[in-house]
Structure 1
Amino acid sequence: MLDLTSLTELLDKPQKIVITTHHKPDGDAMGSSLGLYHYLIQLGHHVQVIAPTDYPDFLAWMPGNENVIIYTETIEQSARLIAEANLIFCLDFNNLSRINEMGELVRASAAYKVMIDHHLEPEDFDDYRHWNINACATAQLVYDFIVNSLHKKELVNKDVATCLYTGILTDSASFRLPNTTSEVHRIVADLIDAGAVNWRIHELIYNSASENRLRFLGHCLANRLEILPEFNTALIWVTKEDLAKYDSNTGDTEGIVNYALSIGSIRLAAFIVDRRDKVKLSLRSKGEFPASDICKRYFDGGGHRNAAGGQSTLSLDDTIAKFKSILPEYKKLLIQ
């Protein structure tokens, strides 16, 4: 294990560093990774961000994105970089299964592993951990790591700030979730002062949809939304044919579950999509309802109390039926 002093000493001289994050990275995953990347390169380190899979086009504008490599497209190069690394930063995930085939490569590497994350129940694969489940985003923790642990606030430049702002913006649902504390707003103010152009980042993230993506959303709301009033629950489900019809790309389904949750009476919303290999679930909830409990117990997943994900090897229809069959167990919590 590493303590902070030992890690600081390592970072005081150039290292071969890999930064990685969970598969199908979102705004917090890529914002955290690229924010840390821009910090580390100022110190003279040799740094490579490796994403396990592709990610949405609406994140491709972030500074440094052109230097990211995708594991599934660069398997041999990625494996070599992981094997040769002195340090591997694992951001926005706490279990090596979250990076798919890369997980065993990271586990086998002699590099020190540093986890920066805010998810429940971390796996003990790391040598140093900067972890807080109350943080609204991993990007918040990267800021805290740089500024409060390493005391390098002066190195939070425009590129660092832009990426970390993106992570906080997206994982806090535009600063709307309960864990968006006054401290988060103070961090965001610092990032704006450091050069993050908040209105422009918002435009690039939320106002860059394709026509197909918008029509796909309309289809989901018009034809795939089901309300279960006896459980204050809403469900949106999507078939493989739906994805093909609207030429759905990575990221096109992101956020759709929140439309179901926006209905006033709804306490639990589910988005269930039939992917090529498995059926994937995304759950969102209000208040104290434990969406993560459902994913952990029944769908081989987990996450945060109000935002969680899982998967199923059953058919789409059977997965929907299973989800509905679970609801009576949680009825008291859903209708109170």
Structure 2
Amino acid sequence: MILKGFEALQQFLEKPRNIVVVGHRNPDGDAMGSTLALKHYLDKKGHKATVVVPNEYPEFLHWLPGSETTYRFDWQNTQSQKAIKTSDIIFLSDFNALHRVGSDMQNTLENYPNDFAMIDHHQQPDDVTYMYSDVNICSTCQMVYQFIEMNHDLDLINKEIATCLYTGIMTDTGSFRFRSTTSKTHRIIADLIDRGAENDKIHNKVYDTNSYNRLLLLGQALSNLQILPSYKTAYITLTDAEKKRFDFQKGDTEGVVNYALSLKGIIFAAIFIEDKEQGIIKISFRSKGSFSVNKFARTYFNGGGHDNAAGGKSDLEMAKTVTKFTSLLPEYQKDLEISYEN
């Protein structure tokens, strides 16, 4: 764990401040849950907090308390820039480096004259003035809970904050099934339920509100599934044309890679998603056991994340990206064989 400048941050926040809370590009449940929970908490402490995210996030997260006040930097640029320029400090939530917000917003943040405070659980964080970083914690939302606890403010957690935090912990732990889910995580979840988080309703809003086209897209993805048993690996591809055929909406591919990892005997899974707008292939990696997809993504696909869940990208076309991926597997055959006992 890295805890840098915590007491100084506490002193800084003793007076009311204008604060911006930023999440990463393509925000997921943990990013939106943690940024909105921080906003509600800071507001209750007497500050004026605004959430700014780089771009749109999935519709199944729009119901989160406070979502309607969130600015999207890409199409609410004037409001976002004003909030940033008039802020006294910026909290960076659920990401470890400024490039994770995309080049346009990155340029703005790099020119920001005041301090950053980072709360994040990803590896190799950038150095900022105030930092709470712990790669062993399952989600940034759990870290926000512990940040509030360190400030002796658990009594300030109301239903809205509890709902946001529960959502982020639930989504980043795969509904509490990943190895990073600890007994402490479950104790925190129990406390959040006691403070108003309605676990059944939250799960329904996130996972059980599929559109017809989203299910058809899932069917297409599963029909594209390829298995490489010699390497205990499976991967899925989705082209831009396939996405358009099923009226792709942001968030529609969330969690699809886990279907590949769920196959018996599979240790390493990937999904390759064509993004013509950015001119890249977006990649999500998942693994079981000791095989680090974080190291794999950092080494070969300009990405990173956690040991068992990471992302990356490729500037090559789909076929060449897949060829590059499969050509690397023989080098890791022994690692994959011993990674996890089935």
TM-score using structure 2 length:
0.95
Q: Show the counterpart of 2:120.
A: 117
1:1-336 → structure 2 map (5 Å cutoff): 3-100=5-102, 101-124=104-127, 126-147=128-149, 149-222=150-223, 224-276=224-276, 277-336=279-338
For 1:107, the aligned partner's letter is E
Per the TM alignment, residue 4 of structure 1 is displaced from its structure 2 partner at its CA by: 2.1
Alpha carbons 1:22, 1:99 under 8 Å: kept: yes
Aligned pair count? Answer: 333
Distance 1:137 1:114 in 2: 17
For 1:70, the aligned partner's letter is R
CA RMSD in angstroms, aligned pairs only: 1.1
Per the TM alignment, residue 6 of structure 1 is displaced from its structure 2 partner at its CA by: 2.1
Per the TM alignment, residue 80 of structure 1 is displaced from its structure 2 partner at its CA by: 2.3
Per the TM alignment, residue 32 of structure 1 is displaced from its structure 2 partner at its CA by: 0.3
For 1:155, the aligned partner's letter is L
Alpha carbons 2:71, 2:79 under 8 Å: kept: no
Per the TM alignment, residue 203 of structure 1 is displaced from its structure 2 partner at its CA by: 0.5
For 1:201, the aligned partner's letter is I
Structure 1 residues without counterparts, runs of 5 or longer:
none
Change (3 A) 1:310 1:2: closer
TM-score using structure 1 length:
0.97
CA displacement 1:118-151 (0-9 Å, x = unmatched): 0000112x1110110000000000000011x211
- Tell me which stretches of 4 or more aligned residues in structure 1 moved more than 3 Å: none
Distance 1:238 1:2 in 2: 42
For 1:175, the aligned partner's letter is F
CA displacement 1:228-285 (0-9 Å, x = unmatched): 1111100100111101100111000110000000001100001001101211110000
Alpha carbons 1:87, 1:113 under 8 Å: kept: yes
Distance 1:4 1:63 in 2: 27
Q: Secondary structure at the match of 1:292?
A: helix
Distance 2:140 2:131 in 1: 12
Alpha carbons 1:83, 1:105 under 8 Å: kept: no
Q: Secondary structure at the match of 2:39?
A: helix
Distance 2:107 2:176 in 1: 35
Q: Secondary structure at the match of 1:72?
A: coil
Q: Secondary structure at the match of 1:179?
A: coil
* Percent of residue pairs bearing the same amino acid type: 46
Per the TM alignment, residue 2 of structure 1 is displaced from its structure 2 partner at its CA by: 7.0
Distance 1:77 1:45 in 2: 18
For 2:71, the aligned partner's letter is I
Per the TM alignment, residue 12 of structure 1 is displaced from its structure 2 partner at its CA by: 1.8
CA displacement 1:159-203 (0-9 Å, x = unmatched): 110000000000000000111000000111111111101111001
Q: Secondary structure at the match of 1:114?
A: strand
Per the TM alignment, residue 317 of structure 1 is displaced from its structure 2 partner at its CA by: 0.6
For 1:141, the aligned partner's letter is M
Distance 2:86 2:319 in 1: 45
Alpha carbons 1:158, 1:195 under 8 Å: kept: yes
Alpha carbons 1:48, 1:68 under 8 Å: kept: yes
CA displacement 1:49-90 (0-9 Å, x = unmatched): 001010100000101000001000112221222122101000
For 1:127, the aligned partner's letter is T
Alpha carbons 1:86, 1:110 under 8 Å: kept: no
Alpha carbons 1:53, 1:72 under 8 Å: kept: yes
Q: Secondary structure at the match of 1:73?
A: coil
For 2:247, the aligned partner's letter is D
Per the TM alignment, residue 104 of structure 1 is displaced from its structure 2 partner at its CA by: 2.4
Structure 2 residues without counterparts, runs of 5 or longer:
none
